[in-house]
A = this chain, B = another copy of it.
């Protein structure tokens, strides 16, 4: 592509409304442009990157025996009502009515529609297994879109769905997709970890996530210093290494703790270590108030708590509810005498003579013991934290931030049962189909790579997905020899089908070099003063390494770049 007769721009300044280094670089490189909150235009230079990502994804899906189709985004609301997900998606789903007042939603993910697509009368077990996928635009009305393409409201997803007659078949299909995803993310050049995760909104038996490691990652990826353990923070088990406390159980006392409603305030007031406190947290689980009792120096893990209660919605109770339930101001909740179910973290069982709120404003109980209250159920309810040990090998855990670029779900028969997707087994009996679902966010991959590959001068795309692998830069458009040498190489590249970028603009060389660095072209060949001595300059974006190359060697240099 010749820049002189193309639509091309870069920006010198960061955007006012971008909140990360990589999103600013993508905007400044003319790759993306914000259209509205969480909605972007992918500009021509960015489309080249996205198309290469799409090609890699499609190649790997096809070579892993997945068949491509294309679903609509406009879906009757009924479809999600039938599966029970209309409610669980709630406001995250865009909804609308057509001219006849029929209700539709914009699909956030397509389990239901793929189940409908696969539905055929009298489909026999012999017709299985199969794997269907699409590369299609999804819509989610995110509360707080951010980080450029990382959290957006309209985005392209590769979503695949597998259909098997039993769990063993699903396992094979799942492993096949696991392998495809590793190949995809390897080819994209991403530094990623695969972690066990919560099945969440999807439901099902198992979920794993591909997390691109990044400082702006919104997920916490837990790993291990000693082994290959890895897991999303949400579901990582806290290994309970605490010892049962020694000593006598003392008698419960109620003491005045005026205006001390937080652990910090009470521990200062009583001059006690926070670990002697238990926190009592009041939550609403699907509109029912419940209490969680955990060590004072720990955080509740809401995913674990939701799972324990099988709750669709779990959120902290409002001050009103807390006051109603505890008969006290917020800050003084405790398990003793509480009339709602109390769920306790398992570390609680080893505690003695602890301090809790007294369910009375400005009062706490001290010397509380397990005999003083009822526990509905005990479970692992806390978030892991630095210092905790690996559930697999006992070495210290590590913590990274990750961007979820892909996920795998063993759905089991949840959707096939909801939608009535069955097959006839060898005995002519109807059986539910076993499904898996597998997603990759394409723009998010682009953003994650941009986030991992950049420096103070701009983007540094890996060769596989760079908008162009090589740029030819003419230093002075007034110098016929420079132009001639560059154009000769450009024509050679065109002939060979190498997609090179020719910077033949009448701009200062500094501007051209800066632009090529900003948009992150891996290889730059510069035609400057050296041309009169038969030489060009070759610069590698990744290392800034420079090299003089004889003009007659440039063709074989290009061959090397484009065919390796």
Report A's interface with B, CB cutoff 8 A: 5-7, 9, 33, 35-37, 39-44, 46-47, 50-51, 65, 67-76, 91, 94-96, 98-99, 102, 104, 106, 113, 116-118, 120, 127, 129-130, 132, 137, 139, 141, 143, 153-154, 163
Which listed residue, B40, B91, B163, touches A72 by the CB 8 Å rule? B40
A435 to chain B, nearest CB (A): 13
**Is the Cβ of A99 less than 8 Å from the Cβ of B154?**
no
Some 14 contacts from A to B, beta carbons below 8 A apart, are A6-B67, A35-B113, A35-B116, A36-B74, A37-B102, A39-B72, A41-B69, A42-B70, A44-B132, A46-B69, A50-B70, A74-B154, A91-B99, A94-B96
Q: Which residue of B lies closest to A139 (CB)?
A: B74
Q: Which residue of B lies closest to A71 (CB)?
A: B41
Which listed residue, B39, B42, B46, touches A74 by the CB 8 Å rule? B39
A338 to chain B, nearest CB (A): 34
Residues of B within 8 A of A96 (CB): 94-96, 106
Report if A42-B65 is in contact (Cβ < 8 Å); known contacts: A7-B130, A36-B74, A36-B75: no
**Is the Cβ of B73 less than 8 Å from the Cβ of A154?**
yes
In the docked arrangement, what's the CA distance between A40 and B113, Å? 11
Chain A to chain B: the 8 pairs with minimum beta-carbon distance, closest first: A96-B96, A7-B130, A42-B70, A44-B67, A91-B99, A39-B72, A72-B154, A44-B69
A492 to chain B, nearest CB (A): 19
A84 to chain B, nearest CB (A): 20
Which listed residue, B6, B33, B67, B139, touches A130 by the CB 8 Å rule? B6
Residues of B within 8 A of A137 (CB): 73, 137
**Is the Cβ of A141 less than 8 Å from the Cβ of B99?**
yes
Report if A9-B120 is in contact (Cβ < 8 Å); known contacts: A44-B67, A47-B68: yes
**Is the Cβ of B42 less than 8 Å from the Cβ of A153?**
no
**Is the Cβ of A76 less than 8 Å from the Cβ of B36?**
yes
In the docked arrangement, what's the CA distance between A129 and B6, Å? 8
Residues of B within 8 A of A153 (CB): 74, 98
Residues of B within 8 A of A143 (CB): 99
**Is the Cβ of B95 less than 8 Å from the Cβ of A69?**
no
In the docked arrangement, what's the CA distance between A48 and B116, Å? 20
**Is the Cβ of A132 less than 8 Å from the Cβ of B35?**
no
**Is the Cβ of B51 less than 8 Å from the Cβ of A68?**
yes
**Is the Cβ of A117 less than 8 Å from the Cβ of B41?**
yes
Q: Which residue of B lies closest to A11 (CB)?
A: B120
Residues of B within 8 A of A104 (CB): 36
In the docked arrangement, what's the CA distance between A113 and B554, Å? 41
**Most interface-central of A43, A50, A99 (chain B CB within 10 A):** A99
Residues of B within 8 A of A139 (CB): 74
Which listed residue, B7, B67, B106, B163, touches A132 by the CB 8 Å rule? B7
In the docked arrangement, what's the CA distance between A116 and B40, Å? 12
A447 to chain B, nearest CB (A): 15
In the docked arrangement, what's the CA distance between A137 and B154, Å? 12
In the docked arrangement, what's the CA distance between A404 and B181, Å? 41
